[in-house]
Amino acid sequence: MEPILSGLHEECGVFGVYDPKGGCAQTTYYGLYALQHRGQEACGIAAINGREQSFYKDVGLVSEVFDKETLDRLNGTMAVGHVRYATTGAGERENAQPLTIKYVKGTLAVVHNGNLVGVDQLRRDFEYKGAIFHTTSDSELIAYAIAQARLHCRSVEDAVCYAARNLKGAFSLLVMSPRKLIACRDPWGFRPLCMGRKGDAVLFASESCAIASVGGELERELEPGEIVVVEDGQVRSIRDNCRGLSHMCIFEYIYFARPDSVIAGQSVHQARVNAGKLLAQEHPVEADLVIGVPDSGLDAAQGYAQESGIPYGVGFVKNRYVGRTFITPDQASREQAVRIKLAALASEVEGKRVVMVDDSIVRGTTSRQIITLLREAGAKEVHMRISAPPFVSPCYFGTDIPNKDRLIACSHTVEEIRELTGADSLGYLSLEHLHQLAPDARCGFCDGCFTERYPIPV
């Protein structure tokens, strides 16, 4: 599975809670645990107790960064948290979130999932106005935009509304002031953001699985452009920036989101099963076994098996105790990482014609290594099926899809990719079937990485 090892990475995950009973840092901790798949480089939590803000953040996993003593120091009636994978800005500690600022109107804590476009010009504009940046993350630009707008707006939520109206790109935000917790989604709806309840507590999260993990109940998703304000337990909505348009990243369904999440009314698990069924219709093959590459290839493999009638089996064992920090960027290390991360089950695949379902091919090198594992385990044939179309263009909105010169589909035909990876056959999900994988989704989609057509100029 190339995304796990050397290609795509998750974006980021945000979580926020207002709870008059307190304990918000602990709730946020468990919420971030459920969102750990969206980013493993760094994490952090900021909390409000009375009107005092405290925070802690560092590089590492949620379980590595926080302990009970740290969480006890952060206790309060509001909190926001973040897990990070760097799509802009380096992975150092200073780029970890929440971003916390002190300015003439008080304090703010901001967490952000997504990427802005036009950040170089925006950063220059702020610098000519005297801004001093402490990070290389575009999230700091958002914090500055809100703080600057607050100087001439009546309230924090008005400042968020004004800033969001003038920012371009993908941003699902949580903003915490001493008295208010504010959730904001960009007018194009690139990234998910949902709201839930647990008794008197109000919860926000990138995915519904995080709300469920803390015992909450999903209430709804924020509309593209919507701002939700929580103040003293009262919830109100601002829809001044709502455009009636939606361009959810379709790769949320294919790879990023957790299978037990529901996004825009569509089960992520079912969307992946649907993708596998569509693959079986488009690219049938005679085989003895269908297997998936952990983790996001597993559900699609089930769908392929159901539609084709070929038995589904477990072809790989994944080592879940190897973090991303183990992996170094040189090619030799990547290839060794495949063997550390995955092992083929010879007892399942030996002597069999295998359909191997994965979610994507980026460079192709990792796919070749995984197919080699199956060959060494005795697989007679390996037929690779990909539950997404070929990548032909980068993503500018928070997904780490690289430039064209690093995308194998931009320089090779499907037959050439098949030959380079060593597969006996190769089939991608077609563009015609792409949007059919999420029939229950109440949203439109961004599929620019597959089509080179983006909702906004990049």
Q: Is 12 a catalytic residue?
A: yes
Q: Closest by alpha carbon to 39, among 95, 96, 82, 84?
A: 84
The identity of residue 448, as a single letter, is G
Torsion angle, alpha carbons of 280, 282, 287, 291, to 10:
-50
Supply the DSSP symbol for 312.
B
Q: Closest by alpha carbon to 178, among 78, 264, 80?
A: 78
Choosing from 12, 24, 184, 249, the catalytic residue is: 12
Q: CA-CA distances (angstroms) from residue 132 to 119, 137, 141, 172?
A: 15, 13, 11, 24
- Determine the Cα–Cα distance for residues 210 and 15; give it in Å rounded to an integer: 8
Q: Closest by alpha carbon to 201, among 21, 384, 427?
A: 21
Q: Closest by alpha carbon to 455, among 424, 52, 447, 430?
A: 447
Beta-carbon contacts of residue 25 (< 8 Å; ≥ 6 apart): 45, 47, 71, 72, 74, 75, 76, 79
* Cα Dmax for the chain: 71
Q: 């998910």: which residue's tokens?
A: 192
Supply the DSSP symbol for 266.
E
Q: CA-CA distances (angstroms) from residue 228 to 72, 91, 184, 218?
A: 28, 30, 7, 15
- Determine the Cα–Cα distance for residues 16 and 265; give it in Å rounded to an integer: 21
- Find out whether 289 and 355 touch, Cβ atoms under 8 Å: yes
- Per-residue buried b or exposed e for 298-317, using 16+ beta carbons within 10 Å of the residue's own CB: bbbbbbbbebbebebbebbe
Q: How many CB atoms lie within 10 A of CB 182?
A: 27
Q: CA-CA distances (angstroms) from residue 16 to 12, 338, 455?
A: 14, 35, 28
Residues forming the active site = 12
